[in-house]
Structure 1
């Protein structure tokens, strides 16, 4: 251990009083105080880790003596000192701390819905614009963009080139977020008969879609068709 870390660890030991079972303050690292007598602690934080570390295993044997409980609390404080020292070194080296690593693990365990439900790649192409939305199995949107978000305006938004660039941009964003590794199955939903429909198909079948192509298990058409409705206008008759 380097000299700055050992100095911080020594200062921590000097400020920790083992004779106070209910409240202990650690001033060199934080202005907050740690209460050991609290019934519940967050499981995804540093204090929750220390609580789980210092908690003695339950057994069917006789109750533990005072020396054994004291050794357990001593182990918990030693683990606290070790993690705090590691966090201080991580901050000095611009590395993620213990709480940040636990936060990333909790984000990775996000519930995306049923396991049998695929991800969805929606393409809504009409003659004025093209919209692309990628959703999770629980229908939560990952990315949603249109040709207007790329700088195309007016009649240029409905062109083939605008839809081609939009689809390539969306797939590139998915690659940057490592979503091609998180996706298990993918369903492509096409809606409308604009020029963007063919452009999106070309991208998925081309080089840009090689990371997602093998994950596609279903291609469906969600175009809305007229059925009934109001009476149309009287046709114009000349002559």
Structure 2
């Protein structure tokens, strides 16, 4: 046993009475000191002062354990009410809500394709119906609708008014999704020569398309033309 340990044991024997329980505690304490000294002889990092400090250190109770405090149910409900109130004020002021802001951040982080490729506004109009599809630069569809999706039936789907309302509805959906801020460049792709072709152009040039009109960089026509092929049906003759 080293000199500091012998001094500590001598001082402890002088202060403590010679009763049987005290002798047992003293014996266990001396054995602990010996085990500590034998296990740490190579490290030379143990000292009686450190042992006394470790024994006198207060124990932490479960309530005093480390870690962030858990929020109470009342605090979480108050935070939820505050967020709902902020969203209501944002809607009244025509500003983006918290959910829309998170959606915008997700859209920005999403890989939409090459930066040089624009968004596409496809208008497909034939003599029976009109279709409007808006796609991302990687050709994934944002919204795709026809006149039947907004309530027009049978022969009314081919009218000018149906295509006009369809294009207005699609642009309104883009505004609600805050896509007019994400779209930086737009290409309008026309296909077919139905009544909906002129109706869609009228909407884009009107007040409904004021948020997207300045972002159009190209207008192209992808109408399919037949070269040769099968014989066309005989034209219908009345009278």
Q: TM-score, normalised by structure 2?
A: 0.59
Q: Deviations over 1:12-68 (max 9, x none)?
A: x945745xxxxxxxxxxxxxxxxxxxxxxxxxxxxxxxxxxxxxxxxxxxxxxxxxx
Q: Report how many residues are paired.
A: 159
**Distance change in 2, residues 1:87/1:184 (3 Å):** farther
Which residue in the other structure is 1:89 paired with?
75
Cα distance in 2 between the residues matched to 1:16 and 1:225: 79
Pairwise CA RMSD of aligned residues?
3.1
Deviation at 1:92, TM superposition (A): 3.8
Deviation at 1:108, TM superposition (A): 3.9
Cα distance in 1 between the residues matched to 2:178 and 2:100: 18
Cα distance in 2 between the residues matched to 1:139 and 1:208: 24
Which residue in the other structure is 1:211 paired with?
211
Matched, 1:136 2:136: yes
Deviation at 1:230, TM superposition (A): 2.0
Higher helix share: 2
Cα distance in 2 between the residues matched to 1:222 and 1:125: 11
Cα distance in 2 between the residues matched to 1:184 and 1:197: 24
Summarize the alignment of residues 172-211 of structure 1 with structure 2, pairs less than 5 Å apart: 172-211=172-211
Deviation at 1:232, TM superposition (A): 4.6
In structure 1, the residue corresponding to 2:181 is in which secondary structure? helix
Deviation at 1:227, TM superposition (A): 1.1
Which has the higher Rg, Structure 1 or Structure 2? 2
Deviation at 1:228, TM superposition (A): 1.6
Q: TM-score, normalised by structure 1?
A: 0.59
Consecutive unaligned residues of structure 1, counting only runs of 5 or more, are 1-12, 19-76
Which residue in the other structure is 1:221 paired with?
221
**Distance change in 2, residues 1:16/1:172 (3 Å):** farther
| Mapped contact 2:120–2:189 kept (Cα < 8 A) | yes
In structure 2, the residue corresponding to 1:93 is in which secondary structure? helix
Summarize the alignment of residues 69-88 of structure 1 with structure 2, pairs less than 5 Å apart: 77=67, 81=68, 85=71
**Distance change in 2, residues 1:113/1:206 (3 Å):** same
Summarize the alignment of residues 1-239 of structure 1 with structure 2, pairs less than 5 Å apart: 14=62, 17=65, 77=67, 81=68, 85=71, 89-94=75-80, 95=83, 105-232=105-232
